[in-house]
Amino acid sequence: MSSAIKDLPLAAEFAPAGYDDWRKLALGVLKGAPFEKLQGKTPDGLPLEPIYPRAINALPVAGRPLGAPWQIVQRVDHPDAAEANKQALHDLENGATGLALVFAGSVGGRGFGLPPTREAIEKALQDVHLDAGIGIELQFAPESCDVVRHLVELIKRRGTDPAACDIRFGIDPIGARAVRGSSPTDWSEIARGIAEVARNLCAAGFKGPFLAADGRVVHDAGGSEAQELAYVLASAIAYLRALEAAAVPLDQARGMIFARLSADADQFLTLAKFRALRVLWARIEQSCGLAPKPLFVAAETAWRMLTQRDPSVNMLRATVATFSAALGGANALAVLPHTLALGLPDALARRIARNTQLVLLEESNLEKVADPAAGSGGIEALTHELCDAAWTQFQAIEQAGGVFAALAANLIQPKIAATRAVRDKAIAKRRDVLTGASEFPNLHEARATVLDAEPIAVPTFGEAKISFEPLTPLRLATPFEVLRDKSDAVLARKAARPQMFLANLGTPADFTARATFAKSFFETGGIEAIDTEGFTDPAALAAAFKASGAVFACLCSSDKAYAAHAAAAAQALREAGCGRIYLAGRPGELEASLREAGVHDFIFAGGDALAMLNDAWQRIEAA
């Protein structure tokens, strides 16, 4: 390095700047608007500041060992065990270091999964060397708990040392019952059963962990980060108490439990959530009189963020989620293939899911630094705020008698439903954007390829002894996708979609912005927009509308052009037989005159787009 470059002062030439300097400049830009306009809130109501100072004396959160890569886990969920085996071997040969055996009917099955039989397990794991450092994770329904025995027997028949196997058995009766909303047995019987299984596995030489505290149950149902954390803690404590009641020492019992969290496309919240879980679990260990040891935390990219429409965007969502969970210290990570919401993913989708992790691990070297977010003011603040919020909710669950009792009494479900309702409203109003679904739709996109596979039906237990509200999984884009499905059905029947005539007024400079907005608005609901060159003559506009064959129209232009032309244009459209007239933008003082001229509804940013589109479809179907 030359001395000239070495002595370059760089930042030293600038005057030091602090928070007060930034705030002064920010207030100038706000031009009298309150500073709070720059602040936000998480779904838990936690404050989000626009800028944070560096966190002084912050220590790294103990998690994945320094420099240790996380396990790259691939789903093995093909209903045909022979095909599942081919997929598993291909994944292992091309960079995967772990396999999640997903069985039909499990929480993570997503409509597919392996048959829960001895033959299926043996066939799916053919030529997979279980003592070669490969991580194996089981995901199964309560009715399929024999898969644990089948796997143990397979290992015994092979003569493999159980201690050499890295298997997370994934026993989670609480999670399965939370999703179904019922249980054939009470908690005391469940607790005795899982403790016996865990002790037997340990006696057989398996090192575990055996029991899973699975946060996907809450996240899939629309819950917040703090709600997911509180549920995971409460589930883990329930399993810890069950083991303790079976005379398993606490120091040994904690190693029999692992956690699983969903990772979504909110980078900072996801990162902070994974850090917060480790802080919270360390607090529980200390309360038990134990020196903290890092909990094994598995991650899976979120089901609820997947879209059927424009599924390629799911790759971007998965990349952000993987990045966040990896930096948050996840020990194992499974990426849901981007086409999973459409059906069973093909080889390309599986490859992309696998390579998303490989690129971040082997090319971006995300594992090289332990807890890289340590000291970041924003992440540290969010981590501790999540800890406080989750701990309060965890205490409420404990006061109710534990997680099973709280579910049975429907104490957890309404809180999750309330959070879900707030998020649904934000999506309906497109404040929270789902690219390709609620914004920037492509009505002419080619449908992604998925495998032709029939799901396996798994019989459920008999009559439920205990029933309560289920935590039903959802995808956030579903309400918009329902409308797109209606549009596809109309296209199949009539060779044309429902159409919206864009009544553009004035010059392109007047109408382009709002015409673009209106096109995206209506096409998110599957109503195809017919663009036009622009009109100043109401008679010409009416003639063009009649020739288009559309039933509805939307006026698009500037506020100035609306004042001059909108009323006459609306009257001409009404006289031409337009069944419904919309206007893009807020009407302001013109609302009364515009409605009198024939405008029925106004579409604008922040309005309830979903409600407007559903209303339009009711009129389309009634026509």
Q: Which CATH superfamily is domain 480-622 in?
A: Cobalamin-binding domain (3.40.50.280)
* Three-class SS state of 264: coil
Please tell me the distance from the alpha carbon of residue 49 to that of residue 263, in angstroms, as a whole number: 22
Please tell me the distance from the alpha carbon of residue 239 to that of residue 231, in angstroms, as a whole number: 12
Q: Which helix (H) or strand (E) holds 232?
A: helix 225-245
pLDDT tens digits for range 576-615: 999 999 999 999 999 999 999 999 999 999 999 999 999 9
Judged against a pLDDT cut of 70, whether residue 9 lies above it is answered with: no
Asked if residues 280 and 387 have their Cβ atoms less than 8 Å apart, the reply is yes
pLDDT band at 398 (very low <50, low <70, confident <90, very high): very high
pLDDT tens digits for range 252-290: 999 999 999 999 999 999 999 999 999 999 999 999 999
pLDDT at position 8? 60
Please tell me the distance from the alpha carbon of residue 484 to that of residue 448, in angstroms, as a whole number: 15
Q: Dihedral angle at the C-alpha atoms of 54, 58, 64, 67, nearest 10 degrees?
A: 70
Phi, psi of 131 (to 5 degrees): -105, 20
Length of the chain: 623
pLDDT tens digits for range 494-543: 999 999 999 999 999 999 999 999 999 999 999 999 999 999 999 999 99
Q: How confident is the model over 127-145, as a mean pLDDT? A: 95
Residue type, 569: A
Please tell me the distance from the alpha carbon of residue 157 to that of residue 361, in angstroms, as a whole number: 35
Equal fold, 71-371+397-428 vs 480-622: no
Q: What is the pTM of this model?
A: 0.94
Domain ranges for the chain, please list them. Answer: 3-48, 71-371+397-428, 480-622
pLDDT band at 1 (very low <50, low <70, confident <90, very high): very low
Asked if residues 104 and 344 have their Cβ atoms less than 8 Å apart, the reply is no
pLDDT at position 622? 86
Q: Name beta bridge partners: 603.
A: 584
Please tell me the distance from the alpha carbon of residue 295 to that of residue 278, in angstroms, as a whole number: 7
Q: Which CATH superfamily is domain 71-371+397-428 in?
A: Methylmalonyl-CoA mutase (3.20.20.240)
pLDDT tens digits for range 21-71: 888 899 889 888 898 889 999 999 999 999 998 898 899 999 998 889 999
Please tell me the distance from the alpha carbon of residue 278 to that of residue 293, in angstroms, as a whole number: 9
Helix axes 538-548, 567-575, angle to 10 degrees: 40
Each residue of 531-566: b (16+ CB within 10 Å) or e?
ebebbeebeebbebbeebebbbbbbbbbeebbeebb
- CA angle centred on 217, ends 378 and 280, rounded to 5°: 40
Asked if residues 450 and 342 have their Cβ atoms less than 8 Å apart, the reply is yes
Distances (CA, A) of 67 to 63, 106, 128, 134, 354: 11, 33, 26, 18, 20
Distances (CA, A) of 343 to 347, 451, 572, 594: 13, 7, 47, 47
